[in-house]
């Protein structure tokens, strides 16, 4: 039942984001067009993960992510992210692999813009977000009712902020994103993880501005 509810929630989030993205691409016939920004980011990500609270056993997972964000005139918008991470020997002889999908609200503030006379639109953006979804870990060892299992899934939460710098109308870089990530994978203790995630990468602006 929990897996079914989680699957439905992810499907609804994906449909909402797809609809918002499609709306952003439609022509506007009014006198003053709405300001809509649609951006795609591909980033390298590293996550300081713990086996169980109070007994760190911490390791830095390495991976990457892709996220899309649709931002409206007020700066409010919606974002969705897919992240994959891996760590070898997370514990002696144990690897960890996980994939997370999350979506939720994002607020973006344009802190600086380039000269209006130029054809390129240079700008610096600050954003904060709260994303919710699910994570699936696999090819590892997790406690279960009957011994252990090689995979597990749980609810996931990601909250943080980032800094984008666009060098032109369409291309830029994500200088830094810092997130708190909480998951609830089984660990024979509190069954919670509180991680620190860092990311940086490339940006592609695909909507109007």
Range of the domain at 100: 2-25+35-205
Question: pTM for the whole thing?
Answer: 0.78
Is 30 a member of any domain? no
**Residue position matching structure tokens 């054809």:** 119
Q: pLDDT per residue over 116-140, tens digit each?
A: 555 557 889 999 999 999 999 998 8
Query: Would you say 140 and 153 are in contact if contact means Cβ atoms under 8 Å apart?
Result: no
Is 97 a member of any domain? yes
Is 196 a member of any domain? yes
What average pLDDT does range 129-155 have in this prediction?
A: 91
Q: Give the H/E segment covering residue 23.
A: helix 2-25
Q: Give the H/E segment covering residue 15.
A: helix 2-25
Q: Give the H/E segment covering residue 17.
A: helix 2-25
**Residue position matching structure tokens 């609830």:** 184
Q: Which of 201, 159, 207 is nearest to 179 (CA)?
A: 159
* Cα distance between residue 34 and residue 94, in whole Å: 51
Is 67 a member of any domain? yes
Is 165 a member of any domain? yes
- Check residue 48 and give its pLDDT: 92
Residue with the larger pLDDT of the pair 31 and 144: 144
- Structurally, the chain folds into a number of domains equal to 1
| CATH value at residue 158 | 2.40.160.20
Residue with the larger pLDDT of the pair 123 and 42: 42
């Amino acid at each position: 039942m929990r897996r079914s509810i989680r699957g439905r929630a992810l499907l609804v989030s994906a449909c909402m984001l797809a609809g918002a993205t499609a709306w952003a691409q439609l022509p506007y016939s009014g006198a003053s067009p709405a300001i809509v920004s649609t951006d795609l980011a591909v980033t390298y990500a590293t996550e300081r993960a713990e086996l169980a609270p109070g007994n760190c056993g911490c390791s830095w997972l390495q991976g990457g992510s892709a996220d899309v964000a649709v931002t409206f005139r007020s700066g409010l918008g919606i974002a969705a992210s897919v992240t994959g991470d891996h760590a070898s020997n997370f514990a002696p002889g144990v690897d960890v692999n996980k994939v997370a999908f999350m979506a939720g609200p994002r607020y973006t503030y344009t802190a600086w813009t380039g000269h209006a006379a130029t054809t390129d639109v240079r700008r610096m953006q600050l954003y904060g977000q709260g994303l919710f979804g699910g994570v699936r870990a696999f090819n590892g060892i997790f406690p279960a009712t009957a011994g252990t299992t090689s995979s597990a899934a749980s609810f996931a939460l990601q909250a943080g902020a980032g800094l984008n710098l666009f060098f032109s109308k369409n291309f830029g870089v994500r200088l830094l994103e810092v997130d708190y990530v909480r998951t609830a994978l089984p660990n024979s203790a509190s069954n919670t993880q509180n991680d620190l995630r860092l990311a940086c990468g490339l940006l592609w602006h695909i909507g109007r501005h």
